[in-house]
A and B are shown apart, each in its own frame.
Chain A
Amino acid sequence: MTGYALLIPELLVLLAAFWALFAEKLPGGDRGAAWLGAVATLAAAVIVAVAPLATTGGPFPRMLAFDGPARLARIVMCMLAAVWLLWTAGRGQGRVREAVSLALFALIGGMLVAEARELVTLILAIELATMPAYVLIGYRRGDGKGLEGALKYFLMSMLTTLIMLYGFSFLYGLTGTTRYSGMDLKGAGTLGVLAVLFAVVGLLSKLSAAPFHYWAPDAYEGATPWAVAFVSTVPKVAGAVAIVRLVSAIAPGVPLAGTVLLVASVLSIVLGNLGALTQTDVRRMMAYSGVAHSGYLLLGVAALSIPGSAAAIFYALAYAIPSMGIMLITAEEGSQVADFGGMAQRRPATAWVTVIMLFSLIGIPPLVGFFGKLSVFTAALQRGFTAVVVLAVVMSVVSAAYYLRIVRAMFFAEEPAGHLGVTRNGAAATAIGVCVVAVVALGLAAGPLLASIGVVLR
């Protein structure tokens, strides 16, 4: 019975989500709900951090795992949500209560996705995590582009979920179980390959990895940068843990499993980086670069090894944290690259913070993004993917080309005419500050962190 205490963080988030739903009638209103959400998610992160691991036991031991990867992912997702809610509490305008509660529901879904060790739980958790995301994308009701983006996301997501379900039915048919622990596809032949292929399609789409990434640029462009900040980060961390768990359960014994992932990885890295190169809208640029980063993450997964899996999970946070920070700054400044013009004069500290986060995404040491790339490449080279790694590093130079466009705008361009000034806001500044501190600190502490993921995955 005490095992249920492990779900206290989820419960806290759930309570905050309900509070936000009825914020209209409750003291504090919309912003109060965001504040409460920020406090609840922060508390959840702290509780997860101090709670003991329950690798085998815990509540629902056949469905949920409370192991190291789950713990790390829950902490990071809760912190990301806390940052997002803190920013919302500071700068959120108008009717944000539904967004707050949607984000909190999506967070619970994301946490369950990271914990799921069984197919049906995974499907349910994924649905809980993505349903609110559709609404967040189309949050502005009168905005045609937002609705178009949300619809595209919804249709693509539904289609791939159905394919994934189809794959899960194969898995169940072949192994007679929906639990990861008992799955053994050895000797399943072609059917096993198809099962793996279909099963990962859904997660590839959730990670906006190629070739299922076409929804992302349109969906993000239609959404507010504020919504993108959440939708493009928190689900990716959950998705990374989920795909690592699923793949390490079903890939052994299936000959082409690694190849499928490797192809998706290469396609994502190439299409994402080349796609981002020509964008003038930060949301589209970050959508394509998110595709590319998912490709790097999948390169770790495709290595089908413990260091590779650890690297993939680590890469997810190395991507999500600066991405959150940059999208929040985009929400303040405006969604075009040109809107960043002259920022170094207007807001020098924020401009430098942006520089640090962009350099982390490029993979410049000693920031967290560098160690993410280093660990992924190490795992991939260990498996002999030398040519792919060379391609991947060359593509990371391409990524420097478009990330530097934002730097160039901030430092060497004029403020565009009619650009709205940004007022000072302590809560929002703290939120972005947390992101940049994490980018630097996790870079310096990358070793222990990576090792701890690797140890618990063993």
Chain B
Amino acid sequence: MLTLIVFLPLLGAATIALLPKGRPEWPKWVAAAFSAVDLALVAWVVYRFVPGGGRQFAEKMAWIPQFHISYSMAVDGISLPMLVLSALLTFLAVVASWKIDSKPKFYFAMLLLLQVGTNGVFLALDFVLFYVFWELVLIPMYFLIAQWGGPRREYAAIKFFLYTLLGSVFMLVGIVMLYLKTGTFDMIRLAAIGHLLPAGLQWWLFLLFFLGFAVKVPMWPLHTWLPDAHVEAPTAASAILAGTLLKMGTYGFLRVSLPILPAGFLAWQWFIALLAMISIVYGAAVAFAQTDIKKLVAYSSVSHMGFAMLGIAAANVIGIDGAVAVSFSHGLVAGMLFLMVGMIYDRAHTRQISELSGLAAQMPVIAGLLAFASFASLGIPGLSGFVGEFLALLGAWGSNLPQWMVFVSALGVLFGAAYMLWMIQRVIMGTPSHVIADCPDATPREIFVVAPLIILIVAVGLNWNLLLNYVDPAARSLVKLMGV
């Protein structure tokens, strides 16, 4: 089942590659069909998943037995929300890209290939397999940014590629060192025996994995690739980048660093919380200063993912619940924000906040949706953004982290409200500027794209247990495993 979920998009990409050239309409239909089926399969997995039942849908067979490398996949309460994000956002990204007319075959094949990587990362339980999917993500994203991006796309694409590759090769060294010490690439087995490793070694290994994951999250000061990549990437790629790729980082901490290297984590805990705090405040402060609405959303990602890292640094059940909730919610909200920015840019051909004004008068639906996404982002109770940030802060407060860090981080929520509201005030209110004169409002297709996101944002915001039912048992067993 999981194999099908991971590799169905690959089949889709291959199908698209074989389509005749003279039919520019076909690739998007094929891509939509494959990603819709994939989403349906994921929905089925969610339906059949037993909350609190540990790892499920496990598949395991030998791949390279000489080196104890196996093909091993399963889904648990932490990976399930991520898998949902990956499948949902890919499908929505395909539909959102309906108007792509430059090299549609190439474009949609890359979107599906990207999904192979993201699905795989969240399901793999063998380190080599995990690394294969982890690196696979780079290639389609590189092409998506470099081919369909903005004016500085080539620079942004190569920066993205090299930055994240640099992070992941450190992770590779860590994987090999773990293998040499334990003789296995099996992540479940490593989680069971990892705490037996000497603390000094764990300290080093944690650092190696930290570099791999923190670049992806991204944590200050390793975040500098993100604004460039986000701003230059096409809308759909931005949405997936924010919605899924960043989650690979937090997921890595939860799947690898915490369970396998508990002593290493304890040694670094304070430092991670500090970086999380800086990311929150720094991201928010820089977002304040942005004149480009897409860059504002990009820096808000740095800030919000800081909350996820704060929850992880807390390393208690509430904190980890919060970290997963932030990741999930940010996937929905940032995905939606980038889609909204894309819609506005398609019409106004500018993203400068100063040039946009009076959206509400000219395009009431788009303005309403943007306002909704912004409110979700700034953490209004009742929407999903609130759940995770609240839990992450609560978890951090109850942990052994210094409380001034939690206090400073909480200020980030305030900043978040401020820059978002200020942006709304400038963009939505006022009289329509000339750049949006005569622009049509949202089309039914565009509303269809964001509707599932809105439903999930509201549903999770109103009933936390919808998400936490799945996450909480997994977070409990993770904390128990760490023995902290």
Contact = CB atoms under 8 A, between A and B. Distances in A.
A120 interface: no
B369 interface: no
8 contacts: A362-B165, A365-B128, A378-B179, A386-B173, A396-B169, A401-B158, A412-B154, A450-B67
Interface residues of B, number: 31
B135 A400 contact: no
A113 to B, nearest CB: 28
Given A364-B138, A365-B136, A408-B146, A381 B177 contact: yes
B63 interface: yes
Interface of A: 359, 362, 364-366, 370, 374, 377-378, 381-382, 386, 389-390, 393-394, 396-397, 400-401, 404, 408, 411-412, 446-448, 450-451
Contacts of B132: 365-366
B147, B173, B179: most-surrounded residue (chain A CB, <10 A): B173
A389 B162 contact: no
Given A365-B132, A447-B69, A393 B172 contact: yes
A393 B147 CA distance: 28
Interface of B: 63-67, 69, 128, 131-132, 135-136, 138-139, 142-143, 146-147, 154, 158, 161-162, 165-166, 169-170, 172-173, 176-177, 179-180
A315 to B, nearest CB: 15
A447 B65 contact: yes
A447 B63 contact: yes
Contacts of B138: 364
Contacts of A386: 173, 177
Contacts of B143: 411
Given A365-B131, A393-B170, A411-B146, A401 B162 contact: yes
Given A378-B176, A397-B162, A411-B146, 17 more contacts: A364-B139, A377-B176, A378-B180, A381-B176, A382-B180, A386-B177, A389-B173, A393-B173, A400-B162, A400-B165, A401-B162, A404-B142, A411-B143, A411-B147, A447-B65, A447-B66, A448-B64
B67 A447 contact: yes
A10 B173 CA distance: 41
A374 B173 CA distance: 9
10 pairs of A and B residues whose beta carbons are closest in the complex:
A447-B64, A451-B66, A393-B169, A365-B132, A397-B166, A447-B66, A366-B132, A397-B165, A378-B176, A364-B135
Contacts of A397: 162, 165-166, 169
A448 B176 CA distance: 19
Contacts, number: 74
A366 B126 CA distance: 14
A274 B64 CA distance: 34
Nearest to A446: B64
A322 to B, nearest CB: 16
Contacts of A412: 146-147, 154
Nearest to B167: A397
B162 A381 contact: no
A374 B176 contact: yes
B224 to A, nearest CB: 16
Contacts of A404: 142, 158, 161
A408 B143 CA distance: 9
B167 to A, nearest CB: 9
A386 B173 CA distance: 9
Nearest to A398: B162
A408 B147 contact: no
